[in-house]
Amino acid sequence: MDTIETIKNRKSVRAFQDRPVEREILERVLEAARWSPSGANCQPWRVEIVSGTKKEAITKAILAAKEKGHSEPPDIDYYPDVWKNPYKERRFRCGLALYSALGIERGDTEARKRAWFRNYEFFGAPVGIFLFMPKALGTGFLVDMGIFIQSLVLACTDQGLATCIQASLAEYPSIIRQILKVPEEFRLVCGISVGYEDENAPVNQFRTTRIDVDDFTTWHD
């Protein structure tokens, strides 16, 4: 697949086929992603891949914490405490399109809750990937992690796999570290659901928009 077309074709998928992902494909994807650039070639990424009973254990633990009203600070403050425009409006439009695709009314709080909890079920994907980085390297290396994550999901797209990058899977870093036996010295960046897209699912029919190049670019001659 052409690189530019791969970038444009990648999307967040929230419904997957009941079909396993071959380990050989995942190894091929990681082999490509490992060539991502990083500051001083530090290669800060640590990758934990889950499936089967281990993935189910993570889902069960997070949902139990949610139902009890338990929360914990994520390792990374991804979202702001107060949303301001234009980001507030973009977030609103994205959520509106998503729930519209699911057929959920704005006032249906129970349906919205069930839909949100699907995040912690990896949207039914057979594979989950958790990305960690050493705390000692500092937040600047989040740039490198972002590059690696983009390389990873684009390689997945190239290989026919669908993905959804999720900050929600990083809401309970202590639970994830405990289950996966990851040392405290690593911070959890995000999770990614990986599998084969259910192309018939309504939730996969909507696409988010992007602002025009001229809206975010200034040319200096």
Q: What confidence tens digit (pLDDT) does each residue in 44-69 have? A: 999 999 999 999 999 999 999 999 99
Examine residue 164 and state whether it is found in any structural domain, yes or no: yes
- The model's pLDDT over 150-206, given as tens digits with 9 standing for 90+, comes to 999 999 999 999 999 999 999 999 999 999 999 999 999 999 999 999 999 999 998
Cβ-in-10-Å burial (0-12, 13-18, 19+) of 161 comes to: buried
Examine residue 190 and state whether it is found in any structural domain, yes or no: yes
Structure tokens at 132: 């960690």
What is the model's pTM?
0.95
pLDDT of residue 57: 98
Does residue 86 have a cis peptide bond before it, meaning omega lies within 30 degrees of 0? Answer: yes
Examine residue 113 and state whether it is found in any structural domain, yes or no: no
Examine residue 221 and state whether it is found in any structural domain, yes or no: no
Name the average pLDDT for the chain: 95
Domain that holds residue 33: 3-79+120-205
Examine residue 155 and state whether it is found in any structural domain, yes or no: yes
> What is the Cα–Cα distance from 99 to 83, expressed in whole angstroms?
20
CB contact at 8 A, 203 and 101: yes
pLDDT of residue 112: 87
Examine residue 61 and state whether it is found in any structural domain, yes or no: yes
pLDDT of residue 1: 61
Examine residue 85 and state whether it is found in any structural domain, yes or no: no
Q: How many domains does the chain have?
A: 1
Examine residue 95 and state whether it is found in any structural domain, yes or no: no
> What is the Cα–Cα distance from 220 to 110, expressed in whole angstroms?
51
> What is the Cα–Cα distance from 56 to 94, expressed in whole angstroms?
28
Q: What are phi and psi of 108, to 5 degrees?
A: -85, 85
Here the CATH number for the domain that contains residue 7 is 3.40.109.10
